[in-house]
Chains A and B, each alone.
Chain A
Amino acid sequence: MPFVGEILKYRSVSIVGLAKNAGKTECLNYIIKRLPLDYFTVAVTSIGIDGETTDQVTGTAKPEITVREGMFFATSEKHFRQKRPLSELYDVSDEDTALGRVVTARALQEGKVLLSGPSGAEALKRWMRSLKDFGIDLVLVDGALSRLSTASPAVSEAMVLSTGAAVSANIRDLVSKTAYVVELIRLPLYTGPDPALRVSSFSSLDAAALKGNRAIEVEGALTDRLLQLVKNGLGEGEIDLVVGDFTKVFCSQELYRAFIRRGGRISVRMKSQLLAVCVNPVAPNGIVLDSDILCRELSQKIGLPVYDIVKNEYEIS
């Protein structure tokens, strides 16, 4: 039963997909099925509804999560009314989302729910704080599609990444894209003295401004534009760019590599724990990649075990 034991060491874990249909929901269901609920009280929610509204447009099936008896879950009023097992209501939040207020309930029997939790990382943090009276040991967060902000260490302590044929139908390309994200997730923690120079994505920079600075604090997002400015002004010297966490890096892989080659480094103030990478070799358009090759190639590239949880159906303890 791979990596579920790891999850139990943390109080909050987000499950993030690199693309729609990358297998995030299967991954979450896989984890839930294997949690030892006799000893742990677990709550599950998702962030926001973006992506989910696209679902309503394209008509693809909305992801359903199976909650087990005794688990807490948070979803919008609308989805709570639509589908749920028999459940006991614990809280109705004061905050409105597009689908109504967020309802927190405990499942009294196993059943399927539609998850649509607090909208946005801040609201999610507030919701997590509001759980403190319910004695919850672990919160699982279904991250919004193609939005990594849920995985920010400011929100959840650890993460599981799911990727798959939906990201790219070419194994080499898929491995490269996934490995880049994994590399960002593993950016080292900054340990040096506080940088004297602080910049934001709106700053203008030239070589003169950079001169003599070995480290630069980046406020907010590190964009291609900002990275290009720093790279241009860099010369051949070493420089450390310090960002809040990996979710603040919005740079293309090419530029990132060029910056590293010049002697640049990016480090973070808060580091995420990547617990596992799961793959879904099936794309929504029907393309199926070779699961064994995909797992092997990706695993070699990132130096972490990679799981195809659907194919392998790892046993339940």
Chain B
Amino acid sequence: MKFREIVDSPCGIRYLFDELELQSGYARKVLLDREMMTDAGRIDAAYASLRRYYDLVVTDRRRVEDMRFRLQGLRDISGTLAALADGAMLDEIEFFEIKHLAMLAESLQLGADMDKVIDILDPDGLKIGTFYLYDSYSVELRRLRDAVENDPEDAQLQEDLANEEDRLKKMLSDKLRPYAPTLRQTLQALAELDISLAQAVQMHAEGLVIPSTGAGAVITGMFHPGVRAALKASGREFQRVDFSFERGVPATVIGANMGGKTVALKTLCMLQYLYQFGFALPVTSAVMTPFDDIRFCIGDEQDEKTGLSSFAAEMQRIDRAIAAAETGKRVLLLVDEPARTTNPVEGTALVSALLERLSDKAGLALVMTTHYTVEHAGQCWRVQGLLPGTKGRKMDYRLVRTASHEVPHEALNIARELGIDARWIELADTIMKKLYE
């Protein structure tokens, strides 16, 4: 799974990607083409590296900004380097690109043998980033250039000059060819540096945290940066939430409407992606665990565009997730209110059955929000709920473990707090009492 495939996931990870201040278009491309990590060792190594850059941001911001300024000059010359490796004769533009890359890398103390590459393209030792086929490459070149300048109409001289230039271009290409692999590594390293510095700066600006790796996920104080920014714009604050889950133990999240269940699920999904792509997390602290496959089942506008009813689209999405869980791989499955668009009787049956269907999957971690009362052997969490006497304006979004799987009957209270037509709500209350007392 590449980053570009999940950047527009409904979990909202795009916000952090858009806010990432990359200096070069090439780094952006490299990041989008990055493969998701599934190996805990690789993830921890990536975080160890990010930690070093973060420390640099904290201790020596000026140096970081100097490096980032230089990285603005990073260009994607992978095509040129491939041509060089393939044995092509390069031209002045391509020599310029290579010299530019080598000088950039050297100024950032990156890459091996960059001094040797520069020596080839800087015969006069000028140490400046410009390039042309310097006179000093050959006595003959200089002689022919003078001759052509004195007699611009002489076709033979012009041809001789072109031949000599070609000979030198070939000679330079041959000299550079052994360095093609190290140049390619250097180009990659520069893009990685750009990405790491941008991540470290973002970590500092947004107050993000590097997690540790464990057998299950234990998250305290998570927040959704995109939602937080939107709330901040209207003068409100995001309430941080704790949550934990593990493989083999399904978890359901129940609670009031407007209680932030969906936002919590989106945040969990985003955290998982961020973790497996080596980004710092919007949490107070976290232990995370890698998965081979991450599946987020939530209705989105795409359903309508493809002409599927929301129910059909949802069922198909969950169907694919079941198939993924069947493979025995480590799968994280996040499902937002399954079967919510159908009647509550069948809906409850579908949700209960889904939990049972997936109950023997040791590699699966399942987190599901629902409005239905479903009994299962896993964990049940509920939203703390509406703060009384606040006219429906104050919600306590914290998630707490609960023994009862009975969904709270809070909708009427919330409606009352919102000041909805009193007569309507009282009638509903009477019906409820008849049903449940």
Contact = CB atoms under 8 A, between A and B. Distances in A.
B29 to A, nearest CB: 11
B97 A88 contact: no
A90 B130 contact: yes
A92 interface: yes
Most buried by A among B24, B96, B131, B133: B96
B75 A88 contact: no
A89 B91 contact: no
A94 B100 CA distance: 13
Given A81-B91, A86-B145, A109-B149, A92 B130 contact: no
A109 B161 CA distance: 15
A125 B395 CA distance: 50
Q: Is the interface on chain A under 10, 10 to 19, 20 to 34, or 35 or more residues?
A: 10 to 19
A106 B96 CA distance: 13
A89 B25 contact: no
A234 interface: no
Contacts of A86: 132-133, 145
Given A77-B93, A103-B93, A109-B149, A89 B131 contact: yes
B75 A89 contact: no
Contacts of A81: 91, 93
B149 A89 contact: no
Contacts of B133: 86
A179 B92 CA distance: 46
B311 to A, nearest CB: 40
Interface in A192-210: none
Interface in A86-111: 86-90, 92, 94, 103, 106, 108-109
A89 B145 contact: no
Contacts of B132: 86-89, 108
Contact of A89 (B24, B76, B92): B92
B145 A88 contact: no
A94 B130 contact: no
Interface in B217-239: none
A246 interface: no
A80 B75 contact: no
Contact of A92 (B24, B25, B97, B145): B97
Contacts of B100: 92
Interface in A38-80: 77, 80
A25 B96 CA distance: 30
Contacts of B145: 86
Contacts of A80: 93
B75 A92 contact: yes
A90 B99 CA distance: 11
A108 B145 CA distance: 11
Interface in B107-153: 129-133, 145, 149
Interface of A: 77, 80-81, 86-90, 92, 94, 103, 106, 108-109
13 contacts: A81-B93, A86-B133, A86-B145, A88-B130, A88-B132, A89-B130, A89-B132, A92-B75, A92-B93, A92-B97, A94-B75, A106-B130, A109-B149
Interface of B: 24-25, 75-76, 91-93, 96-97, 100, 129-133, 145, 149
Across the A-B interface, give the 6 residue pairs with the lowest CB-CB distance, nearest first.
A89-B96, A88-B132, A88-B130, A89-B131, A90-B130, A94-B25
